[in-house]
A = this chain, B = another copy of it.
Amino acid sequence: LRKLRLRDDLSEAEERVLRASASHENEVPAGRTIIKAGIPLNQCTLLVEGMVARYKDLADGQRQIMELHVAGDFLDLHSFPLKQLEHDVGTLTPSRLVFVPHDALKRITEDQPHLTRLLWFSTLLDAAIQRERILSVGRRTAIARIAHLMCELYIRLDVVGLAGDMRFQLPITQIDLADTCGLTSVHVNRMLKQLRNEGLMTFRGGEVLIHDWEKLQDVAEFSPAFLHLDRQPR
């Protein structure tokens, strides 16, 4: 909710409708696939706590993570219009999930046009984040990819109150990081060392410490515009 409210007003009635739409809650351990590609879905999943990834695998075992999800993200709101996903979704850490049936969402599209537009917005925010990923893996250097991802996560976690004071929890492996950036874990390790040595940031023990926010942004060529942080009537 905090994520939506940053971008537009959310009336009390709308908040009530949204809360009423949620059905059961669930806890899932780390490393579990929670949504498989190609399976027809009849509910959407909201991540309440933990860290989750959307990814695809190639035949030779290589994995590419499309997007890292943090608390407050809908993992598969895309499945409401699409009816199924073409990629997998899995937990990177133990997570808590809440489910929203497609029926309830359909009712929202019938009765709540403004709320519908906000949910639509939320799916397109994913798309914008994923486009930035295309730019990263397509054209940025290895060190810039990692720096950029860290800037992105700092802002996104800050929005939901999970970052601040130039630090945040990131309880994932360097392998996950490599799969997100389109690199090998060996090279990620070397680049993290370089970022540490140059005094830009440290990633250790599941925590990120940013030592020089300005320089980190410079290395990454980071601009938060793609996160559409502006508050507007939508």
**Residue A197 interfacial (CB < 8 Å):** no
Indicate how many identical chains form the complex: 2
Q: By the criterion CB–CB under 8 Å, are A123 and B126 in contact?
A: no
User: Which one, B80, B116, B232, contacts A83 given CB within 8 A?
Assistant: B232
Residues of B within 8 A of A181 (CB): 138
Q: By the criterion CB–CB under 8 Å, are B113 and A58 in contact?
A: no
**Residue A43 interfacial (CB < 8 Å):** no
CB closest residue in chain B, given A87: B131
**Residue A38 interfacial (CB < 8 Å):** yes
Q: Which of A10-18, A24-32, A59-67, A166-174 interfaces with chain B?
A: A59-67
> A182–B133 Cα gap in the complex (Å)?
12
User: Which one, B56, B58, B81, B131, contacts A120 given CB within 8 A?
Assistant: B81
Q: By the criterion CB–CB under 8 Å, are A225 and B86 in contact?
A: yes
Interface residues of A in 127-146 (CB under 8 A from B): 127-128, 130-135, 137-140
Residues of B within 8 A of A78 (CB): 124, 127-128
Residues of B within 8 A of A86 (CB): 128, 131-132, 225-226, 228
> A113–B117 Cα gap in the complex (Å)?
11
Residues of B within 8 A of A221 (CB): 58-59
Interface 0/1 of A145-189, CB less than 8 Å to B: 000000000000000000000000000000000000110000000
Q: By the criterion CB–CB under 8 Å, are B62 and A139 in contact?
A: yes
Other 12 A-B pairs with CB < 8 A, given A56-B135, A64-B138:
A38-B225, A56-B131, A66-B135, A78-B124, A82-B124, A82-B125, A83-B230, A86-B131, A86-B228, A109-B116, A124-B127, A139-B182
Q: 5 closest A-B pairs (Cβ-Cβ)?
A: A138-B182, A81-B121, A127-B127, A86-B226, A137-B138
A binding-site residues for B, Cβ under 8 Å: 37-38, 54, 56, 58-59, 62-64, 66, 78, 80-84, 86-87, 106, 109-110, 113, 116-118, 120-121, 123-128, 130-135, 137-140, 181-182, 221, 225-226, 228, 230, 232, 234
